[in-house]
A = this chain, B = another copy of it.
């Protein structure tokens, strides 16, 4: 048996640093996994990542294989040199040359990329977007992340910051965003946006059953209450989910007008809601699409790699 050269794919989330060791020729075969809690200072974060890679390397070497490179996905602005410029999840870590530091510590080739961009590449190569050259991945979680594939290649942009679609302004008079502006798409179409739409509905006297289950306090309404009530068939929750789906679709239509994509892959926590969310998104999307009668609308599909997409994509980018 010949020793295989595996890759290590890492995903730094708000909660965990996850690492997967896998064969880049078979990225969806079960690999070896390690995870540790995400630390909140740069020094501790580096140590944690190095620890995960060393742990994976030991396990891999026990099988006679080795790790040849490592790729890391992380939320926020990552420049083309692999420097983490700014991360919403890790306010204490910024302007950190993660790639150079990890290469020095690990003695391996390393790439560092925005997590949604990495996940888009994972889905493109090994997930919902196999053989699709024009694809966008959108992660709907607390915020919105995006990764763009055009003509079969990742769009990273001049600095490496492409895909900040969550900060596309879709309503200049809309709610204030932590970024300082008003009406960013992620104020409407993320998990936080769903909660806000729910609280607005509750304060307007709608969502009676949901509010009753929360001690009659409309301010307690969160996205997960709505998705659960909608799954149970609550018509008022379904109506708010429909409104939410319209905002999701608005941004997807905007992106389609700009990029004319073939496939939109939806990932992130909200994808667990399934077709209860995606069906109304698809309906509103076609209504919002320019010249929809003269084009094939993009398919809107759930991500298939789940929480592995970022780690798999980052590992595949490192293996290129």
Contact = CB atoms under 8 A, between A and B. Distances in A.
Given A151-B155, A157-B259, A157-B261, 14 more contacts: A85-B294, A133-B158, A151-B153, A158-B260, A159-B260, A159-B296, A161-B291, A163-B258, A165-B258, A168-B258, A169-B170, A173-B173, A255-B258, A258-B258
Interface string A271-288: 000000000000000001
B258 A290 contact: no
Interface string A172-188: 11000001010000000
Top-9 shortest CB links A-B: A157-B260, A158-B262, A162-B260, A164-B257, A167-B290, A161-B260, A134-B158, A168-B254, A167-B257
A62 to B, nearest CB: 41
A309 B305 CA distance: 44
A253 to B, nearest CB: 7
Q: Which of A153, A168, A262 has the most CB of B within 10 A?
A: A168
A155 B259 contact: yes
25 contacts: A77-B291, A77-B294, A85-B291, A85-B294, A148-B258, A150-B162, A157-B261, A158-B260, A158-B262, A158-B296, A161-B260, A163-B258, A164-B258, A165-B257, A165-B258, A167-B290, A168-B254, A168-B258, A169-B170, A170-B171, A170-B172, A171-B171, A173-B173, A181-B290, A255-B258
Interface in A55-100: 77, 85-86
B258 A146 contact: yes
A255 B164 CA distance: 10
A197 to B, nearest CB: 14
Contacts of A254: 168-169, 254
A181 B285 CA distance: 12
Contacts of A260: 156-164
Contact of A172 (B167, B171, B181): B171
A159 B170 CA distance: 25
A134 B151 contact: no
A226 B169 CA distance: 27
B258 A159 contact: no
